[in-house]
Amino acid sequence: MPATNHQSDYLIIGSGIAGLSFALKAAETGSVSIITKKERAESNTNYAQGGIAAVTSSLDTFESHIRDTLNAGVGLCHRDAVEALVREGPQRLNELISIGVAFTRKKGGLDLGREGGHSQNRIVHARDRSGWEIERALLAALASHPNITVYEDHLAIDLITEHHLGIPVSEATATHCWGAYALDVRKNAVKAFLARTTVLCSGGLGQVYLHTTNPPIATGDGVAMAYRAGAAIANMEFIQFHPTTLYNSGSPAFLISEAVRGFGGILKTKDGQPFMERYDERASLAPRDIVARAIDTELKKRGDDFVYLDVRHLPAESVREQFPHIYQTCLERYKLDVTKELIPVVPAAHYSCGGVETDLWGRTSIENLYACGEVAMTGVHGANRLASNSLLEALVFSHRAFEHVRHSPAGRGVAFPTIPPWDESGTFDMEEWVLISHDRKEIQQIMWDYVGIVRSDLRLDRAGRRLQLIADEIENFYKKTKVVEGVIELRNLATVAVLIIRSALLRKESRGLHFTTDYPEQDDIRCAHDTVVSLWKG
C-alpha cells in the first residue's frame, strides 16, 4: 500500500480546543492540515460540561487562582506553568468571546460558577454544555479559512522520525519529527502527512478504563505515538476519576458536572446521610481526588454500587435553567427527574494529568514536535487537576506553542528528507482478528480492577505482568497485519496502560490522584518530583 504524501507548514493531530485554536492562529502564517479520527466535532472538548476557570471578577485575583491550582496539585505543579496559565487566561478567554462563543451572562456580565477546589466563583460557562459551544464557535471560524484543510476519518499511526529513515535513535541523539503516517479509514489507505511543525492535540486516554466519561476516540494515541518515537512521557500515574457520573448510564458514562455540587448539590449515602464532611472540611466542594476517594471508600465499606447526589432542596426552576442539558438528558434518556429524585452517581475515569512532557512553550523532547491539551504534561496540573483548568490549559499553551513556532527560525527553508512509502510487505488481512479482539475489554477490565482509585504494589505488579503479555501479543499481531482502525487503537491502549502502571510503580507514596495502600503517606523528601519515562528511562 504506497503512501500518498500531503505537505503543509503545520500538521495538527486532533480537533479539540487545543488543535482548533492553534490552527486558527497558524493559518495566518502558513498552510495547516488537521487530521482527526472521526468527525471534526468529536473530541473530549465537545463533552466538557463545566467551563473555563479564569479570573474575570473584581472579587477574584490571580494569586487566588494560582493558590487554588497549586493546592489541588499537591506539591507537583510547576509554578511557572501555573503562573502562565492563570495570568494569560483572561486574554485567551476574550479571544473565544471575540470569535462568537456565547458564554452564559448574568446582569450584563459573565455568569460565574464555582466548582470543587476553587475559593471563588470563576467558572465561565455556557450553561452545562460549555465544550460543545466552544467547539461550535471554533469550527465555524475555521470553516471559512482558506489555509486550513481538515481530514476527517484519518487516524494517525506513527510519527515520522529518523526511525522510519533507517537511522538509529537513542537518548544521546536528537530526534526530529517530519509529520505522521495516517490511515484514511474510508479509503483504507495510508498517507504520509509531512510538515515542518507537528502539533499533537490528540486528547486523552480514558478508554483504557472500563468506565469512563471519555468518548470512544480517547485511546491515548498521541501519548503512545510520542513514546514510540522516543519522547519523554511524564506523570502518567495521575489519572483523574470524575467523582460523579450517572450510575449505569453506559459508555461513555454520562457526566454530572462538578458545577452541580458548586451550585449546592450534596453527596449522600444510600440511606440519605451526607458523608463528605468526614473526609474534608470543604465537604462536597473538595477537590476531585478527595471526593472520588471518599466515594470509593464509602462504596467498599457499605457494599453499595453508588452514592447519591441530592439537588432536591434547590429551586427546581434554577436547576433546570442552570443545567438544561443534564436535566433534559436525565429526564428523557434515563427517566430521572433530578429536581425531584436523588441522582445515583459513581466515579469514572475522566482525565489524564500526565502525558507528553513539554516546556512552557509546548515543545516536546523531539525536535519540531509540540503537544497541547490533555495529551501534554505542561506541569500545570501536578498530582491532581483543578476543575475547569483543562480547557484553559489547552487555550493558553496552544497559543504559547504557536508564538514559539512563529518566532523560531528552526526548520525554515530546510528540505524534507526522503520519506519512505508505508511498508506493509509480508502482512496479511485480519482473518485472525477474533484471536485478539477481546483484548480491548481485557485491558479495560484489568485497569479498572487493579489500577483504579486505590492501588497497591500487588495489584500493580499483577496488572503489569498481564498487560505486558497482552501488549507484546498485540505488537506481534500489528506487525503481521495490514493496518486497520481497531488494531491501531488497541496497540495504543496497550501502550498507555503499560505506561500508567510503570509510572505508578515508580511512585512510592500517595499523592493526589495516586493512592497506594503500600505507601499511604505523602513523601515530600523523596517523591516531590515528576515521574518521567521514555524508551530509555523509567
Give the 3-state secondary structure of 142-175.
HHCCCCEEEECCEEEEEECCHHHHCCCCCCCCCC
**Partners of 106 in beta bridges:** 109
Dist CA 101 CA 231 (whole Å): 35
Domain co-membership, 28 together with 118 = yes
Active-site positions? 288
Verify that 136 and 170 share a domain, yes or no: yes
For the chain, give the number of residues.
538
Could you tell me the residue range of the domain that residue 460 belongs to?
433-533
Same domain, 40 and 113: yes
One-letter amino acid at 487 equals V
d(CA 236, CA 497): 9
141 and 231 in a single domain? The answer is yes
How far apart, in Å, are the Cα atoms of 82 and each of 17, 62, 145, 372, 498? 19, 10, 32, 15, 29
Could you identify the residue written with the cell 495570568?
Answer: 87
DSSP 393-420: HHHHHHHHHHHHHHH--TTTTPPPP-PP
| Residue entry with cell 487555550 | 395
Give the count of beta carbons closer than 10 Å to the beta carbon of residue 402: 25
Residues 98 and 164 both lie in one domain: yes
Q: DSSP code of 428?
A: B
Identify the domain boundary among 348, 366, 395.
348
Residue 358 sits in the same domain as residue 344? no
- Mark whether 218 and 332 lie in a shared domain: no
At 509, list the grid cell: 507514596
C-alpha cell at 133: 459551544
Domain count, the chain: 3
Pairing mode, strands 32-35 and 148-151: parallel
Identify each DSSP E strand in 445-520 by its residue range: 454-455, 515-516
- CA separation for the pair 246, 335 (Å, rounded): 12
| Same-domain pairing of 86 and 217 | yes
Distance CA 522, CA 509 (A): 5
Q: Give CA–CA dist 106/90, Å, rounded.
A: 18
Query: In the prediction, which pLDDT does 1 show?
Result: 40
DSSP class per residue in 120-131? S--EE-STT-HH
Same domain, yes or no, for 343 and 399? no
Q: For residues 109 and 195, state if they share a domain.
A: yes
Cell output for 421: 512509502
pLDDT digits (tens), the chain, 538 positions: 444 689 999 999 999 999 999 999 999 999 999 999 987 555 555 555 668 999 999 999 999 999 999 999 999 999 999 999 999 999 999 999 999 999 999 887 899 988 888 999 999 998 877 888 998 999 999 988 999 999 999 999 999 999 888 887 777 788 999 999 999 999 989 999 999 999 999 999 999 998 899 989 999 999 999 999 999 999 999 999 999 999 989 888 999 988 899 899 999 999 999 999 999 999 988 888 899 999 999 998 898 999 999 999 999 999 999 999 899 999 999 999 999 999 999 999 999 999 999 999 999 999 999 999 999 999 999 999 998 999 999 999 999 999 999 988 655 555 778 888 887 766 666 666 666 678 999 999 999 999 999 999 999 999 999 999 999 999 988 888 888 899 999 999 999 999 999 999 999 999 999 999 999 999 999 999 999 999 987 6
For position 29, which CATH number holds?
Answer: 3.50.50.60
Query: Does residue 252 have a cis peptide bond before it, meaning omega lies within 30 degrees of 0?
Result: yes
Helix axes 130-143, 79-98, angle to 10 degrees: 60
Instruction: Tell me how many degrees the CA angle 477-480-483 measures, rounded to the nearest 5.
Output: 85
